[in-house]
């Protein structure tokens, strides 16, 4: 088992590097690049200042060196980070590249792998801080809607399978298609029009009433802010889980051991719920990873509409402002969350299903 | 012994069917189409979808000859409700006729969906077949790429790419295809792997057919039905993605109307112009719903295990 987990962890490594590579390539390939944004944000910058900035960002180095420096930092290597001398070739440089007899000071960046995503172009704060404070709100929403999705979707799926072909089954299936086809952002708009604008039951958006010490009250005191976003986000999981559970149930119920259970005289209720549902629910563990991706994706739109200060909204505003460091950090965070989600669901599945082999 | 019994049972069943006047040697295709024709829900969805497509194709004719309005002509601060004479579905905040815009937007939104899904499918067929047939390092490398792309929510990639590169509607199709090809590729790859080991592939190889010949002549025809089925839901997914993106003002830019960007200002006019949110939203919802229903229906009809 430990071996299995370790191997699964190892498999996640190339994926993670793929994501960092993708994020980096997209940012550097964008028209203008990071330098363009910085020049644009400060039009009064003189040419020498521009050159200094370029040297600080190390844009004259080969791309792979820049990528490595972004990934693993430069505080362990001496290079001309202050831009006073000849721009030496970063990682490959000698201790004293410009030959003035004084070794250059080491760089100050610790690199993405050690949690240093640089400084936001706009708020000028460390990106890690900007992103970290956005994690909790998104986590709140995601976990709540996943729970709601499972609590509603799974029983719906089981009942639909038990009463296959009945009106209930058909309604559940239609509901699943409707929930899949409804644009999340439009559903959010409609709910806002009904519950916030017309009936004033919930606020139009936001997360919590700001207090003096800028901390939010516990969740149960601000449910009115969460109820609509959770419902919108839960539609996906409800549709997915009900469909998946139904299929899994019908698959299990056709197996030999169910026939055995019936043959030895067990009641239908016992057969369906004790022998059927318990086994049918196992593959649902594998659904955790994909549904996490769906929730993170849905959060982007939902958070924007409900002015909910989470990771998704951070991404949209950073992307429109071209705040590259924040965009990269948000991307990597989301990817790590997804990779972890898949990892956990695989391990869970292996734990609860004895048929999974660990070799 | 047991096979004997099964064989006899199968023969008996066939005979019984033939005697009962049921089909003897019908192809899967004929059966599927007959099933499809009987499926009222799918047929309704198909009809609605055809009407919507037709309306989008004829949009300039309809707006010029029937409605006599221009989708982009504005009137200052003229937000008119549904049912205003001359403006059947009302106007938006700039006084533009909503019905006319809806029809013209359909051209863009449906084109993006149809073309995007077709390109996605083409990429999926090519890469999936190569991965599944050759295996080895080609498979490993592309698999790595797929896992990497799949570990990010698609909307993240879409937002990043469209915010940084500001694509035109044509480029947006490519962007959507670029972010959406992984699912189709995985589907095709799996199918190819199972086909690769069949006897007829082996015999083709034994008479000296080249790999590409085998892939195009022997494997591709067997993949068409599987992938074509995913086309309808693929179109629906892309229409949703485009509308979400345009809603965030990151997709197609106004004044070119799409169903998504018609909604992007709706949030500012909750009190005066609810119809601005309802009209495009219902259209997207109905379109995507029809496409999903068609996708489901076609899949069921082509599923050989479906009993009648």
Give A184-239 as a DSSP string: HHHHHHHHIIIIIIIS--S-SS-SS---TT--PPPGGGGHHHHHHHHHHHHHHHHH
User: Domain residues for B27?
Assistant: 12-70+86-301
> Which of the 8 DSSP states describes residue A30?
S
Does any domain span residue B306?
Answer: no
Q: Which residues fall within 8 angstroms of residue B239, CB to CB, at 6 or more apart?
A: B109, B110, B112, B113, B259, B284, B287, B288, B291
Q: What is the pLDDT along chain A (359 residues), one digit of tens a residue?
A: 788 888 888 888 899 999 988 888 888 777 766 667 677 667 677 777 777 767 666 666 777 777 887 787 766 655 555 555 544 444 444 455 555 555 555 566 677 777 777 778 777 788 888 888 888 888 888 889 999 999 999 999 988 888 888 888 888 888 888 888 888 888 988 888 888 777 777 777 777 655 545 566 666 667 777 888 899 999 988 998 898 888 888 888 888 888 888 888 888 888 888 888 888 888 777 788 778 888 888 888 888 888 888 888 888 888 888 888 888 888 888 888 888 888 888 888 888 777 766 55
pLDDT at B25: 59
Please give the full DSSP string across B52-72, using - where no structure is assigned: HHHHHHTHHHIIIIII---TT
Q: Which of B159, B243, B291 sits opposite A316 (nearest CB)?
A: B159
User: Could you tell me the two tokens for A246?
Assistant: 């139904």
Q: Which residues fall within 8 angstroms of residue B271, CB to CB, at 6 or more apart?
A: A197
Question: Residue B119: is its pLDDT beyond 90?
Answer: yes
Percent of chain B predicted with pLDDT > 70: 81
CATH number at residue A241: 1.10.3720.10
At A296-314, the pLDDT tens digits run 888 888 888 888 888 888 8
Query: Which of A114, A138, A160 represents a domain boundary (last residue)?
Result: A114
Q: Does A296 touch chain B (CB under 8 A)?
A: yes
Cβ neighbours around B276 below 10 Å, total: 26
Question: Residue B308: is its pLDDT beyond 50?
Answer: no
Domain count, chain A: 2
Tell me the three state secondary structure of residue B198. Answer: coil
- Give the helix, strand, coil percentages of chain A, each rounded to 5: 70, 0, 30
Domain count, chain B: 1
Say if residues A199 and A228 touch (Cβ distance below 8 Å): no
Q: Same domain, yes or no, for A189 and A153?
A: yes
On chain B, the residues whose CB falls within 8 A of the CB of A294 are 153
**What whole-number distance in Å separates Cα of residue B258 and Cα of residue B207?**
54
Question: Residue B139: is its pLDDT beyond 60?
Answer: yes
Which of A:192-211 have CB within 8 Å of B? 192-193, 197
Does any domain span residue A8?
Answer: no
CATH number at residue B119: 1.10.3720.10
The complex's ipTM works out to 0.79
Q: What is the mean pLDDT of residues B117-127?
A: 92
At B78-101, the pLDDT tens digits run 666 666 666 666 777 666 777 888
Q: Same domain, yes or no, for A270 and A292?
A: yes
Say if residues A177 and B285 touch (Cβ distance below 8 Å): no
Q: Does A344 touch chain B (CB under 8 A)?
A: no
Say if residues A249 and A157 touch (Cβ distance below 8 Å): yes
pLDDT at A91: 42
Cβ distance B267 to A339 less than 8 Å, yes or no, reads no
pLDDT at A355: 72
Question: Residue B307: is its pLDDT beyond 70?
Answer: no
Cβ distance B270 to A193 less than 8 Å, yes or no, reads yes
Best probe of the B interface among A165, A303, A305, A319, by most B CBs < 10 A, is A319
Say if residues A272 and A162 touch (Cβ distance below 8 Å): yes
Does any domain span residue A106?
Answer: yes
User: Domain residues for A158?
Assistant: 127-352
Cα–chain center distance at B161: 22
Does any domain span residue B56?
Answer: yes
Percent of chain A predicted with pLDDT > 70: 78
Q: Same domain, yes or no, for A94 and A145?
A: no
């Amino acid at each position: 088992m430990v071996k299995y987990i370790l191997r699964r962890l190892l498999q996640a490594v190339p994926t993670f590097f793929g994501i960092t590579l993708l994020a980096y390539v997209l940012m550097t390939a964008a028209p203008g690049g990071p330098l363009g944004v910085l020049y644009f944000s400060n039009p009064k910058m003189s040419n020498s200042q521009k050159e200094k900035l370029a040297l600080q960002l190390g844009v004259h180095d080969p791309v792979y060196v820049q990528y490595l420096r972004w990934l693993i930092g430069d505080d362990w290597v001496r290079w001309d980070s202050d831009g006073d001398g000849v721009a030496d070739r970063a990682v490959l440089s000698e201790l004293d590249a410009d030959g003035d007899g004084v070794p250059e000071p080491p760089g100050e960046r610790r690199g993405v792998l050690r949690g240093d995503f640089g400084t936001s172009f706009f708020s000028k704060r460390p990106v890690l801080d900007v992103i970290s404070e956005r994690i909790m709100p998104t986590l709140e929403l995601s976990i709540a809607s996943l729970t709601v999705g499972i609590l509603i979707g799974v029983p719906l799926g089981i009942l639909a399978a038990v009463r296959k072909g009945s009106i209930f089954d058909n309604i559940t299936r239609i509901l699943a298609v409707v929930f899949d086809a409804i644009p999340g952002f439009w559903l959010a708009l409609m709910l806002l029009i009904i519950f916030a604008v017309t009936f004033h039951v919930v606020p139009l958006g936001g997360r919590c009433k700001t207090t003096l010490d800028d901390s939010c009250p516990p969740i149960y005191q601000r449910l009115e802010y969460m109820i609509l976003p959770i419902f919108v986000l839960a539609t996906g999981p409800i549709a997915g889980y009900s469909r998946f559970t139904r299929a899994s149930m019908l698959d299990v119920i056709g197996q030999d051991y169910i026939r055995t259970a019936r043959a030895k005289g067990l009641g239908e209720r016992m057969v369906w719920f004790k022998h059927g549902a318990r086994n049918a629910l196992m593959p649902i563990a594998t659904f955790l990873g994909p549904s996490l991706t769906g929730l993170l994706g849905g959060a982007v739109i939902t958070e924007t509409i409900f002015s909910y200060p989470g990771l998704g909204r951070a991404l949209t505003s950073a992307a429109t402002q071209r705040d590259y460091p924040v965009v990269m950090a948000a991307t990597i965070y989301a990817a790590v969350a997804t990779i972890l989600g898949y990892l956990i669901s695989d391990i869970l599945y292996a734990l609860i299903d004895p048929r999974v082999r660990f070799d | 012994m047991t096979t004997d019994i099964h064989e006899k049972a199968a023969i008996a069943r066939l005979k019984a069917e033939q005697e009962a006047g049921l089909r003897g040697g019908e192809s899967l295709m004929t059966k599927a189409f007959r099933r499809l024709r009987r499926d009222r829900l799918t047929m309704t969805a198909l009809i609605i979808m055809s009407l919507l497509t037709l309306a989008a194709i004829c949009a300039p004719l309809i707006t010029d000859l029937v409605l006599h309005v221009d989708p982009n002509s504005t009137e200052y601060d003229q937000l008119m409700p549904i049912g205003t004479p001359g403006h059947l579905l009302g106007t938006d905040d700039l006084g533009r006729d909503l019905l006319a815009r809806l029809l013209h937007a359909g051209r863009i939104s449906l084109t993006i969906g149809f073309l995007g899904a077709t390109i996605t499918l083409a990429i999926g067929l090519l890469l999936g077949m190569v991965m599944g047939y050759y295996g080895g390092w080609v498979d490993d490398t592309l698999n790595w790429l797929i896992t990497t792309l799949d570990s990010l929510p698609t909307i993240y990639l879409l937002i990043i790419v469209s915010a940084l590169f500001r694509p035109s509607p044509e480029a947006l199709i490519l962007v959507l295809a670029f972010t959406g090809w992984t699912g189709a590729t995985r589907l095709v790859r799996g199918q190819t792997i199972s086909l690769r080991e069949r006897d007829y592939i082996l015999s083709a190889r034994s008479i000296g057919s080249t790999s590409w010949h085998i892939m195009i002549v022997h494997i591709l025809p067997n993949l068409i039905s599987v992938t074509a089925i995913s086309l309808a839901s693929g179109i629906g997914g892309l229409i949703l993605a485009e509308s979400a993106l345009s809603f965030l003002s990151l997709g197609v830019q106004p004044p070119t109307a799409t169903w998504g960007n018609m909604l992007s200002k709706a949030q500012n006019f909750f009190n005066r112009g609810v119809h601005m949110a309802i009209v495009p939203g219902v259209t997207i919802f109905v379109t995507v719903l029809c496409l999903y229903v068609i996708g489901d229906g076609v899949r069921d009809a082509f599923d050989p295990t479906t009993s009648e």
